[in-house]
Amino acid sequence: MLTLDRYLAKEFAQAIFATLVVLLIVMVGGAFVDVLGDITRGRLPPGMTAAQLGLVLLTWLPIILPLALMLGLLMAMGRLYRDAEMPVLTSVGVGPKRLLKPLSMVVVPILIVIALCSLWLGPWADRTSRAMIQEANRNLLITGLEPGRFTELPGGGGVVYVGDMSQDGAKFKRIFIYRAKDGRVDVTTAAEGELTLDGARERYLQLGNGFEVEGPMGGTTQDYRLLRFARNDVRMPDSTEDKKVQDARRTPTLELMGDDSNEARAQLQWRIAPPLIALALALLAIPLARSPPRQARYGRMVLGFLGYMVSIQLMLLGTDLIAKGKMPAALGLWWLVIPALLLGLWFYSRDGHLPKRRRAR
């Protein structure tokens, strides 16, 4: 039976690994688009694309791995049923309970990886990403600006155009800045400029030898002002992200346990749920994969994917309700996790049981 356990574990592991590779390829494309979006909005230095891409993938692993686990098990079990291997194994006494050992040989290490990524690696990657961006700002590297291209300021604060840039990204020539706020338009042009930093986060463009025109956005009046300056410091807007939520995402798990705020409790529940949801999906995959030898297996994979999507959406909804104080923090996501685990255990224990026949009267 040790040979059988190794064979089944190998089948499970190969299918899960193949599924994970495909999902990672898809997710890399999505993560790359997000990173490019941050670069164009001035939130990220262009030279950090590869590093930021890897850190983003680390934060996504707790969401990707449960899906890879479930789909991989469905594929492996579906092949065993399609090739009539499972009926043969069942005939010699290898039922769902006997599959528990080779299943645990593969599932338990994956659950440990999911827990590590969710509780430690994900928040660490988020903190590291933020620290790298701040360090770039300290080194006077302007984020997102490229010569000859209009760049949106963070938070939709306006548009910046530079005609030329030094190699270190700190000095510029032929600068154009458009800003709109409270019904007023501000257009600034300068022959040269330099990036300066005040403190750890506030960045300024120190402009020299230029003009500034300020007036109404609609142009219905002639209330315009023209200013010529030898030096003008323009602050680069900060991101408009929710700082409380972002800080909770970057906080270590041990510190979240001692924080009573709604954001911290919601983030703690979000980190605990993925490994438990992954276990429930793994248990559901075994009975869900049961099918006759010649039946198509892709319909059951669609059902599994829908179950995964429903679980993730409910996790997002519950986390948002806890963060906004609309759901008791003590309830957490246990209303989702515990029923999912019980449902998975019940279906797994009932897998292969034939219904009792009624006695004829």
- What does the pLDDT read at residue 139? 45
pLDDT in tens, 270-298: 999 999 999 999 999 888 887 665 666 66
Q: Please indicate whether residue 202 or residue 118 has the higher confidence score (pLDDT).
A: 118
Confirm whether pTM is higher than 0.85: no
> Does 43 have pLDDT greater than 80?
no
Q: What is the DSSP letter of 274?
A: H
Single out the residue of 274, 265, 281, 276 nearest to residue 347, CA to CA.
281
- Bigger pLDDT: 142 or 47? 47
Higher pLDDT, 307 or 98: 307
**pLDDT category of residue 6 using cuts at 50, 70 and 90:** confident
Residue with tokens 């990657």: 125
DSSP state, 92? Answer: T
- Please determine, for residue 245, whether its predicted confidence score (pLDDT) is greater than 60: no
Residue 137 has what pLDDT? 53
SS3 175: strand
Q: Six-digit token pair at 138?
A: 């300290």
Q: Which two tokens stand for residue 103?
A: 């299943």
pLDDT in tens, 139-158: 434 555 677 878 776 555 67
Residue 32 — pLDDT band, cuts 50, 70, 90? confident
Mean of the per-residue pLDDT values for the chain? Answer: 80
Reply yes or no on whether the pLDDT at 136 is more than 70.
Answer: no
Beta strands in the chain (DSSP E): 150-152, 159-165, 171-181, 184-198, 202-216, 225-236
- Confidence band for 310, pLDDT divided at 50, 70 and 90: very high
Question: What's the rounded Cα separation, in Å, for the pair 306 and 282?
Answer: 14
Both tokens assigned to 280 = 């429930």
- Per-residue pLDDT, 5: 82
pLDDT at 156: 59
For residue 307, pLDDT over 70 is answered with: yes
Any idea where the domains of the chain sit in the sequence? 2-136+247-349, 158-236
Instruction: Please state the φ and ψ torsions of residue 306, each to the nearest 5 degrees.
Output: -65, -40
Cα 57 from Cα 34, distance rounded (Å): 11
Read off the amino acid at residue 4: L
Most confident of 72-86, 102-116, 160-174: 102-116
Q: What is the pLDDT of residues 83-124, one digit of tens each?
A: 777 777 777 777 667 788 888 899 999 999 999 999 999 889
Q: How many angstroms separate the CA atoms of 118 and 206, rounded? A: 42
**Model confidence at 248, in pLDDT bands (50, 70, 90)?**
confident
pLDDT at position 260 over 80 = yes
Q: Which helix (H) or strand (E) holds 129?
A: helix 122-138
Decide which of 205 and 164 is more confident. Answer: 164
